[in-house]
Chain A
Amino acid sequence: MRKRETNWPVMVFLILGLSTIVFPLYMTIVIAFKQPSEMSNTISGILSLPKTWSFDNFREAMKVTDFWRSLGNSLLITIVTVVLSVLIHSLMGYALGRNKKHSKFYNFVYLFIVSGMFVPFAILMMPLAKQTAEMGLANWFGVILLYVVFYMPMNVLLYSGYLVNIPFALEEAAKVDGASTWRTYWKIIFPIMKPMHATVAVLTALAVWNDVMTPLVIMAGSSQNTLPLAQLNFQSQFGTNYNLAFASYLLSLIPILIFYLVCQRQILNGVVNGAVK
């Protein structure tokens, strides 16, 4: 319909802004390739290119973190959490979002759950460590279950916020056709929330991917590692190997970046524009 024209002032703004990203990224990459003896406390020293571009740091970092196994564990936890979050939280967001305006009960449940966002994790940690152990959940499953609970407030907030912009008329139409509420949800509402699913997926995946505390506390003592847990190996009070650490962080950045790039297309291609008429 419209001509594809480029908004050049915005392009210039974005390109200038990019320097705030490129500079730290450049430092990360350069440091990841250097040897500890090449580290320096002068500007020219730290910004200089490494003497040799060898992947030794990456190989070593992969060895130290037992990369493929840790990656596998991290992927498993993240994927299952994201799938469950999208299914469960969207349902809850729908039930609460559609009812909170006219029902005191649902409004209370909504506020009750959203306020869970503000419980400092530190106060839950000890009781949860005990509780999960008593319930036999001091394992992957327990960690995933906890994630589903921890991110519920944020995601319910997101989903019910999104629903405000989705007209009620869409459901009415389906109901007239005799579809049950359950069916209407999966057929009409769930697909229409696709941009929000993508947003929720990205935010949840990111939070889970980088989280150290939950697996540390819940699975304490087991030798199973997630990537962030394994990456703790690089730092201790009396010495940190930044070169290996940076190499490892660069490696663990790739999967989540790919996931984001895939999801952001979904955020973009929202169906709402076409559907709401």
Chain B
Amino acid sequence: MKGKAMKRIVIAGCGLLLPCLFTGCGDGSSKGVTEIEIVQYKPEAAGYFKMVEESFNETHDDIHLTIHSPNDASTILRTRFIREDYPDIIGIGGDINYSYYVDAEILADVSDYAGLKEIKQAYLDIDEALKLVPTEGAYAVPYAANAAGVLYNKEMFDEHGWEIPNDWGEFMSLCESIEAEGILPFYFGFKDTWTTLAPWNALAVDLAPADAAKKVNRGETTFSAEYRETSEKYLKLLEYGPNDAFAYGYNDACMAFARGESAMYPIGSYAVPQILSSNPDLKIDSFVMPGNDSKEGNTLNSGIDLQFCVMADCPNKEEAYEVLDFLLKDENLQQYINTQTSIPCKEGDFELSSVLEGMTEYIDSGNMTDYQDHYYPSEMAVDAQIQTFLLHRDVDAFLEKFDTDWLRYNRDIIRMVHEYENEHGRTAE
């Protein structure tokens, strides 16, 4: 009796398993149609890419486009790389991963892509700078950028007649007058360590050289020298924040700002949708972090949020370019900008979100500098180090650790830079 029942279970089990064996073998593509697959890393833009995928496939008979917008794309990309199962195009950020991918030679040189000519020079320069050592060729097509500075509650500012500060002195006196009215100047969500990077980057672009990390790699300077002012000014900001800034996470901070509990929130434009979700009527505007003591020294903290790279392995480069052309069409890019409150990397007349109004001056003049953290290896956990620093408020200890850790975590890169220099002579950048 029991034995029979068992046998049945075993057979049923095998029966269930069999179909699994054969799935995944049947996707032979029909002849004449080229398959192009994109994996892009921004799941919050999945809706937009679904729309692009559909409209592309409706208008193209010879190419079939598939766009994946997975959550945790970095894990998925890495697993696919290790299997050598490369997508045709990947959509990634302009950060150190891009540097690694260029170094690993898994991206295709797209300098022959015509669309590159329409990309703003500032963003092409950023991609150039991100290469660990100078490498011939262009490996990415910048698509959209984001910007970080200070978001403020427009109604509150209008009501009290507060002015947008132009330099550090004005900024500090603004904070004083906000506090005098019994309002909290800033909210912070430092429990989520990554948020500590937002004010850090915004201040550092004003106060440290854009290529600080590369200079350190070449042994020309130290972070102790370059980041001291940034660190000291960051501690000043902290004084105008909530009592226990480390108790609140990103979502708490977004909600508190949305509920009018603080006048400003130093974070990137990407936070706007989350803030509006808890208070859709809030009027938000932004300004560039006035970290420098003079207005001329300030620059907008803006980096590439999304760029497309064709993989070296892609057999259909022509078709991949056609897909890129489609993505870069003005009306598509405009729609992306609308949904993600971002900045286009392409030249042309695009309508920016009203949230970015305070930053337009800098965007139009091209006065933009990339995020410093795009050069930090993620395993060094600079965000956590900044959090530690803000808790202990010890500038010297923080900078000293920054310098020693940097050498440790970037050992291979620094060796590579030195080898390159020995071969090619010192490069003046």
Contact = CB atoms under 8 A, between A and B. Distances in A.
Interface in B38-89: 39, 42-44, 46, 68, 70-72, 75-76, 78-80, 82-83, 85, 87
Given A76-B16, A233-B71, A220 B277 contact: no
Instruction: Decide if the interface of chain A is mainly helix, strand, loop or mixed.
Output: helix
B44 A238 contact: yes
Contacts of A267: none
Contacts of A49: none
B21 A187 contact: no
B273 interface: yes
Contacts of B75: 216-217, 220
Nearest to A39: B278
Given A37-B277, A87-B10, A220-B76, A139 B23 contact: yes
A221 B82 contact: no
A162 interface: no
Interface stretch (A20-28, A126-134, A170-178): A126-134
B149 to A, nearest CB: 16
B278 A36 contact: yes
B28 interface: no
A263 to B, nearest CB: 16
Interface string A221-265: 111000000001101111111100000000000000000000000
A141 B278 contact: no
Contact of A223 (B13, B68, B85, B255): B68
A268 B175 CA distance: 65
Given A39-B255, A133-B85, A236-B44, A186 B24 contact: no
A144 interface: yes
B17 interface: yes
A125 B83 CA distance: 12
B69 to A, nearest CB: 9
B407 interface: no
A37 B82 CA distance: 43
B20 A139 contact: yes
B274 interface: yes
Contacts of B252: 41
A220 B2 contact: no
Residue of A36, A220, A221 most packed against chain B (CB within 10 A): A220
A240 B270 CA distance: 13
Contacts of A37: 277-280
Given A186-B6, A223-B68, A239 B273 contact: yes
A116 interface: no
A80 B9 CA distance: 10
Contacts of B256: 41
Nearest to A221: B80
Given A220-B76, A221-B39, A41 B259 contact: yes
A150 interface: no
A177 to B, nearest CB: 15
B355 to A, nearest CB: 14
A203 interface: no
A38 B98 CA distance: 40
A106 interface: no
Nearest to B78: A126
A119 B13 CA distance: 28
Contacts of A125: 79
Contacts of A141: 17, 20-21
Nearest to A191: B2
B82 A236 contact: no
26 contacts: A37-B278, A37-B279, A39-B255, A40-B255, A40-B259, A41-B255, A79-B16, A83-B12, A130-B82, A133-B85, A138-B24, A139-B21, A140-B20, A144-B20, A187-B2, A216-B76, A217-B75, A220-B75, A220-B76, A221-B80, A222-B24, A236-B71, A238-B271, A239-B44, A239-B271, A239-B277
Which 3 pairs show the lowest CB-CB distances between chains A and B?
A: A232-B71, A239-B274, A141-B20
Interface of B: 2-3, 6, 9-10, 12-13, 16-17, 20-21, 23-24, 39, 42-44, 46, 68, 70-72, 75-76, 78-80, 82-83, 85, 87, 194, 251-252, 255-256, 259, 270-271, 273-274, 277-280
Given A126-B78, A140-B23, 15 more contacts: A87-B6, A87-B13, A125-B79, A141-B17, A141-B20, A186-B2, A187-B2, A190-B2, A190-B6, A221-B70, A233-B43, A236-B42, A237-B194, A238-B270, A238-B273
